[in-house]
Structure 1
Amino acid sequence: MVSTYLSYLSVANNLNKSLSAVASKGAVASDTTYYKENIGKVTTVDEFMDDYRLYSYAMKAYGLEDMTYAKAFMKKVLESDLSDSSSFANTLSDDRYSQFASAFKFVGEDATAQTSVQQSSLLAEYESSFDEESDSITEATDYYDSSINDVTSVDDLLGSTKLRNYVLEAFGLSTDYTSTSFLRDVLTSDVDDPDSYVNQLGDDAYVNLAKAFNFNTDGSVSDPLQSDDQKSLVESMYAISSSTFASSSVGESYTTYFQERIGSITSVDQLMADDKLVTYLRTAYGLADSDPDNYISASLKSSSLATAIGLGDLHDAFNFDSDGALADGTTAQTSDQTTATTTAFTDNYNVSDVDTWIEASVANYQTRLASVTSIEDFLTSNADDDDDSNDDDAELWQMAARSFGIGSSEITKSQFRKILESDPSDPNSYVNQLNDDRFTALRDAYNFGSDGKTSVPLLAMSQSVIDDFVADYKQNKIRHLSGTDKTEASTAADTEMSYFATQMATLKTASDVLADDRLVNLMLEAKGIDPADVTDTELKKMFASDPDDPDSYVNGLSDNRFAEIVGSFNFDTEGNLSSDAEGTVQQRGDVIETVNNYVRQTLESDQGDSNTGVRLALYFERMAPSVSSAYDILGDDALFEFFTTSFGLSSYVSNMDVEKQAEMVTNFIDLDDLSDPDKVTDLIKRFTAMYDTSNGTTTSSAATILSGSSTTISADTLLAVAQLKSG
């Protein structure tokens, strides 16, 4: 008869062909089709276990066929939270149970407004925005200061986008809708001529703009274009207009502006029309946010009213008559009054401890966001909801807008709602119609469904699948190591795992993933594949093929692990994110892996019907790379049979002390060799030779070893192994 080794080779050397032959068999093909078509319809553990065809198929796929009857036990396995080391599946000594649980997502993934990666990224941008704002103001002002006096005509100024926008922003004018011709007419007006263009507009803002420059009516320049005072005024106005938080430099800019402008004020109405002056006085004289502006105008006109509302100092600092005008020869303030006002402003201007304020705002954001379950929650959850909160904390949506460089004047709360409600995959959705990358990035930073509720984030790889990959990667990296080597390998693996998880939460296309060698290496090594054995071109072809199509490129490869990898990503064949790939209780990659496992288990079972030695050899070949310790062999009937047969050992060794048995295993087998295919082949040659010597070429009396009906390991040994593995 044909030797066991040759029988094994006939299968192993044509493994893909052998697996395809098994997969095409009537019963196998029918059961596989049923599984693929129906597993996506399951939503609960009970539904899954009540469908015997689905349940038994999966149990066989993960080598648990003999436990199919134990539904209560298996339900506890499937409901285990694998992120909790004390969960039921994780406390079992047999890794097959945790592997089975990881193939299904009955625990479910959390719907959340933001993942930790999305939140960290947004808050990092928020924190850096303050320094960026200050740097931007300084850079723009330095450019203006060094360039403005080189302007020789009004067209030079208006022709320079940077200078033009600087001036417009300083005066609070739109950079998008203020026409060049209009500005030319304003800037070349004679401000001393009551009939000039700018004076006919009846708006002090444009008059002040014209006064800030010395253009002639023909657009030429009366040297200099700006005096030092005029330049200082514009630069102060820019700092005030562009700043969103209190700082010493902004306070100085306010004071400069006040000192430059107050001398030209001739009435209370003129003063009240200037929001910067009003803001200055509110700060200097301690008006609360709830106090109306007319407190100021009334106090400037009436001493008795000012005294009654506690603003007598404000009235005394100005010289307006009761009608709000100035007597002939009188200025709004004397120099002493101006000094008194600026001193009051300096005393009351609360310069922010920016770092402390940012820290408080970030903490508020994190606390509030944790309870957000809808867009409505997000837009209404702010510091005012909690008496213990800092009333100065920004609202969540305002912080989010700032993080993406969106100014407070660019978006309303209503618009923000419409952005979050938008479908980012729909080119006609509100956010995509805005055609602004900032708003698109803002939408991508949150996970809300069309119903306005939080949803499970659509990532390149679902979080539970990420967890599976990084766990397998680390296990492969530290297998067979000990001491310092294990510690160093574990630390290095943790670094790569953290990088992988972070990047997978941000990348949007297959091209993004494949362009990053660190990501590619981890996903391949997690599946036990050497990255050096795969080219970039091959990977691109794999990700461009459909893992659900049996005739696709990736499914035509001899190694079915590649299809499992491609199927683990939520990409379509164009390489873009697609919710269609996610699956329900079982992700697409897990479905592929389950089917592959089922076919492999069936192949081994079929071979065992003819020769148990072939089945054991195929089983050992499959399991060898995952063996981490001698206890993995001692706790597995089939591996134990392989070991004792290979080295001619009596089954009575199972009655020895378990630690002695483990020592014996490592004396016979260098566990590191189990990661080397050539060394595994050598062991299989030894096993098959010894098997044939012991059994001839006939079926072993242990023919049912893998079905669980034969016991070669003592109960004491199994208990000891279980305690060692879980301890």
Structure 2
Amino acid sequence: MTSTTLSTYTSYLIVNRDMKASLERVASQGTVANDTKYYEENIGKVKSVEDFLGDYRLYSYAMKAHGLGEMTYAKAYMRKVLDSDLTDSSSFANRLSDKRYAEFAAAFNFGSGTKTAQTSVQENDVVQAYKDSFSKEEDNIKSEVAYYNNAIGSVTSVDQLVSNSRLKTYVLDAFGLDTTYTSSSYLKQVLTSDTDNPASFANQTGNPKFIALAKAFNFKADGTVDGSKAQTDAQKQSLQLDYIYNKSTYPSDILADANKTYWDTKIASITNVDDLVNDSRMVKYLGTAFNVKVQFSSTIKSFLINDNAAEILGYKDIKAMFNFQSDGTLATDTNAQTADQISATDKAYAKNFQVDQQGAVDKAVANYQTRISSVTDLDDFLKSNTKDDDKSNDDVTEVWDVALRAYGIDPDETTMTKLRQVLSSDADDPRSYVNQLKDARYLSLNKAFNFDDKGKVEAPLLAQSEGVTDDYASGYKSQKTKLLTGADKKTASSKADTEIEYFRTQMETITTAKQFLADKRLVSFVLEAKGIDPKSVKSEDLKKMFASDLKDPGSFVNTQQNSVYAEIVASFNFDAKGNLSSEPVGTVQQRGDVLATVNGYAQQTLEEQQGDANQGVRLALYFKREAPSITSAYSILSDTALFQFFKTTFSLSDYISNMDTDQQAAMIKKYIDFDKLQEPDYVDKLLKRFTALYDEANRKTGSASLSILQSTSTTRISADTMLAVAQLSAR
């Protein structure tokens, strides 16, 4: 060395003083910029491992970026790495002692995310919304009943009734009539009909519902009220019972009360068994109260009037609850049921109805959860329940009915064709079918499922892709357990698992950057997974980062000294407005992993170029980068470059490599305080010592002593790697 030559430490400081600027200079160099541009423009076109390995320019760029440049030649080996299932601890990449390979595989999505019709969160949301819909229905019915009963008292003409859309709808719903196509003029003619006149409008319709409707009100031919009220209290109550019955889609408490009132009123007025069996509502009440399984009115009639039939069918006790004679009539001054019999029937109904009430919901939910787990496409989702050899599923609520009800969609207002178009639409495309409907209910339905444009199940759109979430989970656990052993490591691992479960679950619910940033537990998890102390980052700065334009070099996040912040922001699938979007997801590599690869390539190139002038600077930069991840003496022993750094730093002879591995590890522990490798001051102290001794060694030898770094930045091909490559090459 001449006197004008800068010391290794000075050269290192020049580069490291503003690492961001140093990396930007390298990234702007012609060859580097061109290679990076090619990678960014073409990685999204890759569809398979074969495509990736077949494009040497892409493949070699990624290998170098991840510190695996020396293994670029071993394509068969790397194919096995990329094909590994990282969720399987016994997979090829996970079995390798060198974790760079698993990390490389994790940077790509060749395994893709798990394809599922719904995530657990999506399923739970639908089920909860389905359950909530029943109480909402009951509240809506109560609200409409209260409104009608309050308003009808002030109605003095038929025009007042039909001009009030809410009253009109109530009346039509009570009789199960079409609220869309029944015009006000038509309804007015029905309501002003004289039902005693066969030629009246209502009678001429031939529809018994319209005839009953005309009888439910007291309007004269000119539309005025015939008497003091449009309805008597009895008429109003009868209409109310019909409204509740027709608007109820499940056995609610309000329906139970209405059915009880209906039964008590009707049973007191009937004079013949035929009046009962011809009233479907009464038959249903009877069936629920006494667990009657038969459905035919003739059979029910037979056991209510015939002792032998009741004996044969096992319904003697039920017959005893009624007072019909053998011809179906009632004796003089005898009611169909006494007050005690009515009371007993009502109690039996209330008990069984309560069971049916919960059972109906539970059965629908159980069927939904069973069916949705096996759905692979829209055909599976939209097909009807089928029968098997043991039981009929005909009375089970269809899967799509559960979903439709959850989002307030009446099955009668839609079609299978419409549902297919809705569920296969791209919610992110403003021109898609579901967005053109301009109906929030259908958009919510679309987002509750994961079907592609062909109707096939696909991986769900999440705030972070599944592979990225796995990567953060792995990084978090590594950060929380490194340097720990025994019981301490077990305890830390268990606590980490709790946080990982929370992270995975909550990330399925996050749809905006604002939501994510509002959950301090999630934010801390993400930062810690990347080795950043959450206390060192201001909330306001994080908000600015997530609001930054990643494509703008001058944006807030891109001007941070630590490029990891940009990688974190890029790892989320948020658009420019912070909303969940499929645009940033990418194909085989997610946006954040592309950025990390580009940053890694610049870092590796910087270290190589510095090594061309001074191998000591290259090794110093490498140690500075790796120091936070060094957890034990074996981390150093398994990395040739780090081991050389150690030997140089403490002036140890190369002969120590001949010692027993455990002896070497013991020696490293004696010199290195692994707990302090997270502290910049301690790392800087080691770097100063290394560079001084490196320069001293090279003044004596006159040549670079660290030839280990002359060909690669991190020469550490482990024994298991070499063996696997050899085996693959021999095939």
TM more than 0.5: yes
Matches within 5 A, 1:321-720: 334-335=336-337, 343=345, 346=348, 352=355, 358-380=361-383, 382-384=385-387, 387=390, 390-482=393-485, 486-548=489-551, 554-696=557-699, 699-705=703-709, 707=711
The change in CA–CA distance for 1:453 and 1:345 in structure 2 (over 3 A counts) is farther
What TM-score does the superposition give when structure 1 sets the normalisation length? 0.80
Amino acid at match of 2:117: A
Separation (CA, whole Å) in 1 of partners of 2:225 and 2:495: 67
Separation (CA, whole Å) in 2 of partners of 1:286 and 1:17: 81
The change in CA–CA distance for 1:297 and 1:685 in structure 2 (over 3 A counts) is same
Amino acid at match of 2:587: T
Contact 2:12 2:621 in 1 (8 A): yes
1:276 to 281, 284, 295: 281
1:256 to 256, 261, 282: 261
Separation (CA, whole Å) in 1 of partners of 2:42 and 2:666: 47
2:80 to 69, 76, 81: 76
How far apart are 1:62 and its partner, in Å? 1.2
The answer for the alignment partner of 2:10 in structure 1 is 6
In structure 1, runs of 5+ residues without a counterpart are 720-727
Contact 1:167 1:234 in 2 (8 A): yes
Separation (CA, whole Å) in 1 of partners of 2:452 and 2:188: 49
Report SS of the residue matched to 1:384. coil
How far apart are 1:429 and its partner, in Å? 3.9
The change in CA–CA distance for 1:350 and 1:193 in structure 2 (over 3 A counts) is same
Amino acid at match of 1:519: L
Separation (CA, whole Å) in 2 of partners of 1:249 and 1:150: 21
The answer for the alignment partner of 1:33 in structure 2 is 37
Report SS of the residue matched to 1:580. coil
How far apart are 1:346 and its partner, in Å? 4.9
1:115 to 113, 119, 133: 119
Contact 2:52 2:58 in 1 (8 A): yes
The change in CA–CA distance for 1:317 and 1:37 in structure 2 (over 3 A counts) is farther
Contact 1:460 1:577 in 2 (8 A): yes
Separation (CA, whole Å) in 1 of partners of 2:391 and 2:77: 48
How far apart are 1:364 and its partner, in Å? 3.2
How far apart are 1:688 and its partner, in Å? 1.7
Q: Deviations over 1:336-355 (max 9, x none)?
A: 69959995995896753555
Separation (CA, whole Å) in 2 of partners of 1:42 and 1:139: 53
Separation (CA, whole Å) in 1 of partners of 2:393 and 2:654: 73
Contact 1:268 1:320 in 2 (8 A): no
The change in CA–CA distance for 1:332 and 1:529 in structure 2 (over 3 A counts) is farther
Contact 2:610 2:617 in 1 (8 A): yes
Separation (CA, whole Å) in 2 of partners of 1:342 and 1:182: 44
The answer for the alignment partner of 1:723 in structure 2 is none
| Residue 64 of structure 2 is aligned to residue 60 of structure 1 | yes
Contact 1:233 1:256 in 2 (8 A): no
Counting matched residue pairs gives: 703
| Residue 124 of structure 2 is aligned to residue 124 of structure 1 | no
Separation (CA, whole Å) in 1 of partners of 2:426 and 2:719: 58
Report SS of the residue matched to 1:113. coil
How far apart are 1:171 and its partner, in Å? 5.0
Contact 1:4 1:611 in 2 (8 A): yes
| Residue 26 of structure 2 is aligned to residue 22 of structure 1 | yes
| Residue 89 of structure 2 is aligned to residue 88 of structure 1 | no
How far apart are 1:178 and its partner, in Å? 7.6
Amino acid at match of 2:609: D
Contact 1:171 1:237 in 2 (8 A): yes
Matches within 5 A, 1:190-209: none
Report SS of the residue matched to 1:628. coil
Separation (CA, whole Å) in 2 of partners of 1:241 and 1:64: 70
Separation (CA, whole Å) in 2 of partners of 1:176 and 1:534: 58
Amino acid at match of 2:369: Q
Separation (CA, whole Å) in 2 of partners of 1:280 and 1:415: 37
How far apart are 1:401 and its partner, in Å? 1.8
What TM-score does the superposition give when structure 2 sets the normalisation length? 0.79
The change in CA–CA distance for 1:710 and 1:650 in structure 2 (over 3 A counts) is farther
How far apart are 1:634 and its partner, in Å? 2.0
Contact 1:154 1:215 in 2 (8 A): no
How far apart are 1:321 and its partner, in Å? 10
How far apart are 1:692 and its partner, in Å? 2.4
Report SS of the residue matched to 2:387. helix
Contact 1:153 1:221 in 2 (8 A): no
Separation (CA, whole Å) in 2 of partners of 1:705 and 1:390: 70
In structure 2, runs of 5+ residues without a counterpart are 724-731
Separation (CA, whole Å) in 1 of partners of 2:171 and 2:424: 37
Cα RMSD between the aligned structures?
5.0
The change in CA–CA distance for 1:660 and 1:510 in structure 2 (over 3 A counts) is same
How far apart are 1:556 and its partner, in Å? 4.2
Q: Deviations over 1:35-54 (max 9, x none)?
A: 22222222222232232222
Contact 2:67 2:713 in 1 (8 A): no
The change in CA–CA distance for 1:504 and 1:285 in structure 2 (over 3 A counts) is closer
How far apart are 1:557 and its partner, in Å? 3.7
Separation (CA, whole Å) in 1 of partners of 2:17 and 2:591: 29
How far apart are 1:619 and its partner, in Å? 0.8
Contact 1:5 1:689 in 2 (8 A): yes
